[in-house]
Amino acid sequence: MKRFLLEKSDKEFYTSHSGLALVGACINRFTDFRKRINDVSPRSGGISHADIARGYLRLLCMGKSDYEAITDRREDRYFQTSLGLSVVPSAETLRQRFDAEADRFRIVTNYCAVDFVKRAQGLVTPLENGYVPLDIDVVPFDNSDTKKEGVSRTYHGTDGYAPIAAYLGLEQFHSEFRRYRPVGKTDLDIERFPSGKFATNALVLSMAAFAYNILRFIGQLGLLGDRTPVRHAAKRRRIKTVIQELIYLAARMIEKGRRLRLQFSRHCPAFAAFVKVYERVMGPAAVPATG
Q: Is residue 255 part of a domain?
A: yes
Report the pLDDT averaged over residues 178-182. 41
Q: Which of 74, 16, 82, 47 is nearest to 260 (CA)?
A: 82
Q: Is residue 33 part of a domain?
A: yes
Amino acid present at 45? G
pLDDT of res. 274: 95
Q: Is residue 147 part of a domain?
A: no
- For residue 9, pLDDT over 60 is answered with yes
Q: Is residue 129 part of a domain?
A: no
Residue 102, domain extent: 13-122+195-282
Q: Is residue 117 part of a domain?
A: yes
3-state SS, residue 119: helix
Q: Is residue 226 part of a domain?
A: yes
- For residue 178, pLDDT over 60 is answered with no
* Contacts for 121 with CB less than 8 Å, ≥ 6 apart: none
Q: Is residue 141 part of a domain?
A: no
Mean pLDDT of the chain: 88
Q: Is residue 218 part of a domain?
A: yes
**Structure confidence by residue, pLDDT tens digits, 14-63:** 999 999 999 999 999 999 999 999 999 888 788 999 999 999 999 999 99
Query: Residue 213 in contact with residue 116, Cβ under 8 Å?
Result: yes
Rounded CA gap, 112 and 27, in Å?
9
Report the pLDDT averaged over residues 74-88. 91
- For residue 176, pLDDT over 70 is answered with no
- pTM of the complete model: 0.90
**Structure confidence by residue, pLDDT tens digits, 91-134:** 999 999 999 999 999 999 999 999 999 999 998 889 999 999 98
Query: Residue 17 in contact with residue 62, Cβ under 8 Å?
Result: yes
pLDDT of res. 286: 57
Number of domains in the chain: 1
- For residue 189, pLDDT over 90 is answered with no
Question: Phi first, then psi: what are they for 84, rounded to 5°?
Answer: 75, 35
